Amino acid sequence: MKRDRLAEVLAYANVRAASLLVPYANRGGWRAEWNAEIYHLCHDAGTEFCESPAPGPLEFSRGAFPDAFLLRRDDVRTHGLPGVQPGSAGRCALMLASLAAAAVVLCFILPGARHALLPLHLTSITDLVSIEPAGNAGAESPGISLQEYLEWRTDTEKLFSELAWYHPAVKNVVLARGRSTRLSIGIASANFLRLMRVPIADDAAPLAEPVLVLTRPVWQSLNHSKERMADRFADIDGQSVRIVLLPDDEDQLPNNMQAWLLVDQATLQALPAHARGFAFARIRSSAFPAPRAGVRIMFETHYGVTHVFDCVSVSWLEWQPASNFLFALLLACLALPATTALPLGEYPRYRGRMVFSITARRWAFLVIKLLLLIAVVYLATGSLAWGPAWGGSTSVFLQVIAAFPLLLFGFRWCLQDQRRRCPECLRRLSSPARVGQASCNFLSWNGTELFCVRGHGLLHIPELPTSWFSTQRWLCLDSSWRCLFPDGCAPSPEMV
Amino acid sequence: MPADARLSHTAAMILQAIHAGHIYGFSVMQMTGLPSGTVYPAMRRLERDGLIVSKWEQQSIANAEQRPPRKYYRVTRAGKTTLEAAWERYPLLEKMIPTPEVERA
């Protein structure tokens, strides 16, 4: 007996699962028919005309799937895909998801944006700082001279456990068989990659000759092949250099250089003393007080003149686009109530129809819209600000200036769109009609009325908010009204 | 669907079963021996083509018997014409699922 009951319950569950395939307009009636058949199969199968043995309820319910599939296929052939029907919630979500996908593609096309918005692959960056002249945090132009670096190597041992420097330059690299190409190269101190915790072959060994470190994509673009790198040499400014490849996942070093030329101290000192570059260091935790907004201040007095430098935490720089965006998001949230009304209207419980699942679906749709919008704006404004390599404060300014209005008007659109949707099927309401007269407003109302094409109800929007009609109101209609509406004529047991 | 449209043997069997008074999907299944995954989709197609129509049983009748209402089907005029064409094509159809004499008269 218990087994029969279990089979019946599983059969109902099967039908319920299959009903998800059935177009929404037909779902209620379709499920009612299958449920009624299962009921009769389980409770009075013996009274039926019996030419063949009755199937079990589970076996019977399996037929619901091909039936549901057929209905869905016919519906798709007639009306197109369910997600792209005009005014549907799926179409709206699909549109936003497409925009988000386009923004992701844009972000990947622009290397500057990709490096700024996606986290660096560097490990152990909590004590890693970039040293820059005061006020130039995140600047793209080099600010530390070779002379300063060389002095700091001995003067700042108490502050930094390691210090490295590189000078960006564009060099002609002559490869095998006389092929040459111009690359943007960082001429770096020998310990640069060790400081960055990027392992390469022979990193710890003394430099017998300069090492040119290439990212694998750059090497492949140069050679148009994936041949092995062992014992490869190139020529830069008449000097032979050994080529080493970075590991695949370590191609996101600062400043998006194409290659790094690791040279010993003597070669570095051959550069002009005023050559400017970027300095990075590992700070000693005891040397600096806790960072404030990721920036520590370093003073240097030289012949009575004090110079101020910012030691900017790399982990802080890494999160700068996200923190800028969060700031713009906060501003937009604060400004939103000043630009549009926040309430979504009154949705009264009416004959038990506004059940939990409908309310939850309505809120889920709003949340999905907002999340997709935030993702689109973050990626699009990030690409705009960091993609063309403006650098430094220009990028920060651009990102905030672009993100704030887009978020503000985007949120406004989300709320307005939500108010103009049927709370039950989430389709856009249609056919706005003017109702009432402005001169006859006493205990009455005038405004706009919209309806759901499936006949779920009417939306009343007052022209002038009054004490008895302050916000828009949703009027639920029961299923007996549905035949009056264009898409509401699906038969169901309630309508007989 | 035109009246002389040719039905498959399965569709003709289902149409014949409905014509013979097996007006619920489950009773059509039992009469024809076809699985539910064949009968219900076929009935949807027949209804879409206007050969049968469906109607819900009155809620009051179902309430009186304390069971859910059922959806029942009947053959339309076009369906009857198509079925007569099917009888000529499948002579054993009537013998497999005999039509009550009242209906034939």
Query: Across residues A71-88, what is the average pLDDT?
Result: 76
The two tokens of residue A265 are: 């101290």
Contact B35 A63 (CB under 8 A): yes
pTM for the predicted model, two decimal places:
0.58
Would you say how long chain B is, in residues? 105
Is A354's pLDDT higher than 60? no
CA nearest neighbour of B14 among B1, B3, B5, B35 = B35
Nearest CB neighbour to A67, from listed B29, B44, B54: B44
Q: How deeply is B56 buried, as exposed, middle or buried, from its count of CB atoms within 10 A (0-12, 13-18, 19+)?
A: buried
Question: Tell me, what's the pLDDT at A188?
Answer: 87
A70 neighbourhood in chain B, CB within 8 Å: 41, 44-45
Coil, helix or strand for A297? strand
Residue predicted with more confidence, B4 or A405: A405
Whether residue B104 is contained in a domain is answered as: no
Nearest CA in chain B to A58: B36
Whether residue B103 is contained in a domain is answered as: no
Whether residue B15 is contained in a domain is answered as: yes
Chain A residues within 8 Å of chain B (Cβ atoms) = 29, 32-37, 39-41, 43, 45, 48-52, 54-55, 59-67, 70-71, 74, 491-496
CA nearest neighbour of A422 among A488, A467, A336, A495 = A488
Whether residue B98 is contained in a domain is answered as: no
Q: What is the DSSP string of A242-274?
A: EEEEPPTT----GGG-SEEEEE-HHHHHTS-TT
Average pLDDT of every residue of chain A: 78
Confidence bin at A495 (pLDDT 50/70/90): very low
Counting the structural domains of chain B, the total is: 1
Question: Tell me, what's the pLDDT at A392?
Answer: 66
Nearest CA in chain B to A18: B37
Whether residue B3 is contained in a domain is answered as: no
**How crowded is the C-beta side of A27, counted as CA atoms within 13 Å?**
12
Is A95's pLDDT higher than 80? yes
- Residues A457 and A478: their CA atoms lie apart, in Å, by 8
B70 neighbourhood in chain A, CB within 8 Å: 33, 36-37, 40
The two tokens of residue A111 are: 């290397």
Whether residue B101 is contained in a domain is answered as: no
Q: If you average pLDDT over each of A26-35, A120-129, A228-237, which comes out highest?
A: A26-35
Strand duo A447-451 + A160-174: pairing: unpaired
Domain that residue B53 falls in: 9-92
The Cα of B27 is separated from the nearest Cα of chain A by a number of Å equal to 7
- pLDDT, tens digit, 9 for 90 and up, residues B18-71: 999 888 888 898 888 889 899 999 999 999 889 999 999 888 888 888 888 889
The Cα of A31 is separated from the nearest Cα of chain B by a number of Å equal to 11
Whether residue B1 is contained in a domain is answered as: no
At residue A99, φ and ψ (nearest 5 deg) are -65, -40
Range A106-114, long-range pairs (CB < 8 A, 24+ positions): A106/A379, A106/A380, A106/A383, A106/A387, A107/A379, A107/A382, A107/A383, A107/A387, A110/A383, A110/A386, A110/A387, A110/A388, A111/A256, A112/A256, A112/A386, A112/A387, A112/A388, A112/A389, A113/A382, A113/A383, A113/A386, A113/A387
- pLDDT, tens digit, 9 for 90 and up, residues A314-334: 777 777 788 889 999 999 999
Query: Across residues A182-201, what is the average pLDDT?
Result: 81
At residue A421, φ and ψ (nearest 5 deg) are -115, 150
Whether residue B97 is contained in a domain is answered as: no
Residue type, A75: D
Q: What is the DSSP string of B25-78?
A: HHHHHHHH---HHHHHHHHHHHHHTTSEEEEEPPHHHHHHTTS---EEEEE-HH
Confidence bin at B92 (pLDDT 50/70/90): confident
- pLDDT, tens digit, 9 for 90 and up, residues A393-429: 777 888 899 999 999 999 999 999 998 888 888 888 8
- Residues A467 and A455: their CA atoms lie apart, in Å, by 29
Would you say how long chain A is, in residues? 496
CB B59 within 8 A of CB B9: no
CATH number, residue B34: 1.10.10.10
Confidence bin at A178 (pLDDT 50/70/90): low
Per the DSSP assignment, residues forming a β-bridge with A460 are A449, A473
Nearest CB neighbour to B33, from listed A51, A60, A71: A51
Strand duo A128-133 + A305-313: pairing: antiparallel
Confidence bin at B102 (pLDDT 50/70/90): very low
What is the torsional sign of CA A418, A422, A425, A431?
negative
At residue A282, φ and ψ (nearest 5 deg) are -100, 120
Question: Tell me, what's the pLDDT at A196?
Answer: 79
Nearest CA in chain A to B73: A33
Nearest CA in chain A to B72: A33
Range A342-345, long-range pairs (CB < 8 A, 24+ positions): A342/A415, A343/A471, A344/A415, A344/A418, A344/A419, A345/A419, A345/A459, A345/A471, A345/A472, A345/A473, A345/A474
DSSP state of B91: T
A64 neighbourhood in chain B, CB within 8 Å: 36-37, 40
- Residues A292 and A391: their CA atoms lie apart, in Å, by 22
Contact A63 B37 (CB under 8 A): yes
Is A479's pLDDT higher than 50? yes
Query: Across residues A370-381, what is the average pLDDT?
Result: 93
Question: Tell me, what's the pLDDT at A89?
Answer: 85
A29 neighbourhood in chain B, CB within 8 Å: 56, 71
CA nearest neighbour of B67 among A479, A32, A63, A48 = A32
Contact B44 A63 (CB under 8 A): no
Instruction: Indicate which of B13, B43, B71 best probes the interface with A, i.e. most A CBs within 10 Å of its own CB.
Output: B71
Coil, helix or strand for A181? strand
Confidence bin at A496 (pLDDT 50/70/90): very low
Q: Please tell me the least confidently modeled range out of A275-284, A346-355, A412-421.
A: A346-355
Per the DSSP assignment, residues forming a β-bridge with B73 are B54
- Residues B12 and B31: their CA atoms lie apart, in Å, by 13
CB A394 within 8 A of CB A117: no
CB A239 within 8 A of CB A210: yes
Q: Please tell me the least confidently modeled range out of A154-163, A221-230, A470-479, B64-73.
A: A221-230
A49 neighbourhood in chain B, CB within 8 Å: 22, 27, 30-31
Q: How deeply is B71 buried, as exposed, middle or buried, from its count of CB atoms within 10 A (0-12, 13-18, 19+)?
A: buried
- Residues A295 and A217: their CA atoms lie apart, in Å, by 33
Contact B71 A32 (CB under 8 A): yes
DSSP state of A152: H
Instruction: Indicate which of A14, A47, A52 best probes the interface with B, i.e. most B CBs within 10 Å of its own CB.
Output: A52
Residues with Cβ within 8 Å of A307's Cβ and at least 6 positions away in sequence, in order, are A133, A299, A300, A301
Question: Tell me, what's the pLDDT at B43?
Answer: 92
Q: Please tell me the least confidently modeled range out of A332-346, A347-361, B60-74.
A: A347-361
Nearest CA in chain A to B60: A496
Coil, helix or strand for A164? strand
Confidence bin at A97 (pLDDT 50/70/90): very high
Question: Tell me, what's the pLDDT at A88?
Answer: 83
Report the 3 state secondary structure along A466-489: ECCECCCEEEECCHHHHHHCCCCC
- Residues A470 and A363: their CA atoms lie apart, in Å, by 22
The two tokens of residue A324 are: 């800028």
H or E element that contains A117: helix A111-117
Q: Please tell me the least confidently modeled range out of A348-352, A372-376, A456-460.
A: A348-352
Question: Tell me, what's the pLDDT at A404?
Answer: 94
Question: Tell me, what's the pLDDT at B39?
Answer: 92
The Cα of A421 is separated from the nearest Cα of chain B by a number of Å equal to 31
B22 neighbourhood in chain A, CB within 8 Å: 49
Per the DSSP assignment, residues forming a β-bridge with A183 are A171
A48 neighbourhood in chain B, CB within 8 Å: 26-27, 30
A63 neighbourhood in chain B, CB within 8 Å: 35-40
DSSP state of A317: H
CB A402 within 8 A of CB A385: yes
Nearest CA in chain A to B97: A51
Residue predicted with more confidence, A346 or A372: A372
Instruction: Indicate which of B29, B48, B57 best probes the interface with A, i.e. most A CBs within 10 Å of its own CB.
Output: B29
The Cα of B72 is separated from the nearest Cα of chain A by a number of Å equal to 9
- pLDDT, tens digit, 9 for 90 and up, residues A219-250: 777 665 555 555 577 788 878 888 887 766 55
Taking the Cβ of residue B76 and every Cβ of chain A, the question of whether any pair is shorter than 8 Å is answered with no
